[in-house]
């Protein structure tokens, strides 16, 4: 058991869904088993146009043969463990690789950098998540979420005395995950409510909009932009209670059980469709939308 890097290409031939599974050829089985029960970091190679570098972490729950291919295996991700970085981490920082373990005895990059699945030292893994989940998130919390929470002062005071694994546990804790998820979703939607189309910034410079999970955390929904929507408080309340939902093409669906369906329709934006994120790559994933329609929406 140990930390690992899983390389992932957007146009890969493999059937990857990073919040749920990572498919790999059987020659990588031994390396992948090193990560069983522990954390991995996802990496887009430098040669990928506009590469995000290291962009997310997840925990490997199981490794099983792929039922669709005798030549491949699947690393199954622990539900709810996937977390995208607030700030993707480039392969090189200050002219040297973030993974210091990739340097050879002469200070050059070793051939290990080409391995799609490889172990990573606790020190390198911690360095990456500190950069990806650190406090430089530019999206301000809605209310007082930036205040130090009870108990965190003691954690910070002993921060450098803790082991790498203790420090990593802090970065994957729920408060840090919530902060990173909110920042990612609000940036993706430019702090604009996807249902109403309205963008309100209060006097303190904070966006009056929530980051809503489409598939909730308590139902193993991942902290992924593809599982998120920027919603005003009222829209968030209606979405969580199944009074509204979205089709795969983002049509806003209004429940017949709403006590004031016309009032709801007057509340949503005039197009009748949710405002998409700024980038097509960040659109809600159909799997999460289908889960909400099947499990939450009161049709």
For residue 182, the surrounding DSSP H or E stretch is helix 174-188
Residue 147 pLDDT grade (very low, low, confident, very high; cuts 50, 70, 90):
very low
Residue whose tokens read 């929470």: 149
| Under 8 Å between Cβ of 128 and 41 | yes
**Any idea what DSSP says for residue 142?**
S
| Under 8 Å between Cβ of 244 and 264 | yes
Residue whose tokens read 């489409």: 214
pLDDT of residue 3: 94
Q: What is the mean pLDDT of residues 14-22?
A: 94
Question: For the whole model, what pTM was predicted?
Answer: 0.81
β 92-93/96-97 pair status: antiparallel
Q: What is the mean pLDDT of residues 211-235?
A: 95
Q: What is the mean pLDDT of residues 21-29?
A: 95
Helices (H), 16-91: 29-33
**Closest listed residue to residue 231, CA positions, set 191, 270, 181:** 191
**Could you read off the pLDDT of 153-190 as tens digits, one per residue?**
333 434 444 577 888 888 788 888 999 999 999 999 99
Q: What is the mean pLDDT of residues 72-96?
A: 93
Q: Tell me how far apart the alpha carbons of residues 174 and 157 are, in angstroms, rounded to a whole number.
A: 19
Please tell me the least confidently modeled range out of 114-123, 135-144, 231-240.
135-144
pLDDT of residue 203: 66
**Closest listed residue to residue 74, CA positions, set 116, 20, 119:** 20
pLDDT of residue 174: 86
pLDDT of residue 204: 64
**Could you read off the pLDDT of 93-119 as tens digits, one per residue?**
988 999 999 998 888 888 889 999 999
Q: What is the mean pLDDT of residues 186-203?
A: 89
Query: The dihedral of CA 7, 11, 17, 18: what is its sign?
Result: positive
> What are the structural domains, with CATH classification, of the chain?
4-132 (3.10.590.10), 175-295 (no CATH)
Q: Which residues contact 198 (CB under 8 A, 6 or more apart)?
A: 192, 232
Q: What is the mean pLDDT of residues 232-252?
A: 95
Q: Tell me how far apart the alpha carbons of residues 171 and 266 are, in angstroms, rounded to a whole number.
A: 42
């Amino acid at each position: 058991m140990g930390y690992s890097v899983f390389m992932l290409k957007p146009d890969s031939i493999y059937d990857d869904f990073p919040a749920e599974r990572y498919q790999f050829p059987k020659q990588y089985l031994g390396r992948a088993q090193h990560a069983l029960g522990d954390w991995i970091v996802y990496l887009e190679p430098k040669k990928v146009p506009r590469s995000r570098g290291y962009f997310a972490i997840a925990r490997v729950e199981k490794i099983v043969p792929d039922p669709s291919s005798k030549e491949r295996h699947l690393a199954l991700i622990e539900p709810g463990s996937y977390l995208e970085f607030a700030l993707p981490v480039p392969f090189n920082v200050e002219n040297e690789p973030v993974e210091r373990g990739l340097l050879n005895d002469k200070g050059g990059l070793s051939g290990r950098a080409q391995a799609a699945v490889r172990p990573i030292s606790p020190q390198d893994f911690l360095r990456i998540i500190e950069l990806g989940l650190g406090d430089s998130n530019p999206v301000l919390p809605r209310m007082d979420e930036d205040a130090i929470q009870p108990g965190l002062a003691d954690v910070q005071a002993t921060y450098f005395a803790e082991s790498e694994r203790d420090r990593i546990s802090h970065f994957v804790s729920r408060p840090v995950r919530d902060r990173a998820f909110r920042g990612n979703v609000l940036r993706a939607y430019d702090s604009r409510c996807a249902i109403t189309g309205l963008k309100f910034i209060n006097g303190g410079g904070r966006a009056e909009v929530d980051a809503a999970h489409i598939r909730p955390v308590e139902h193993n929904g991942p902290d992924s932009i593809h599982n998120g929507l920027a919603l005003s408080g009222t829209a968030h309340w209606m979405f969580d209670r199944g009074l509204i939902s979205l089709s795969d093409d983002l049509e806003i669906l209004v429940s017949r059980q709403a006590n004031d369906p016309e009032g709801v329709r007057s509340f949503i934006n005039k197009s009748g469709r949710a405002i998409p994120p700024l980038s097509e790559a960040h659109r809600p994933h159909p799997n999460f939308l289908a889960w909400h329609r099947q499990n939450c929406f009161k049709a």
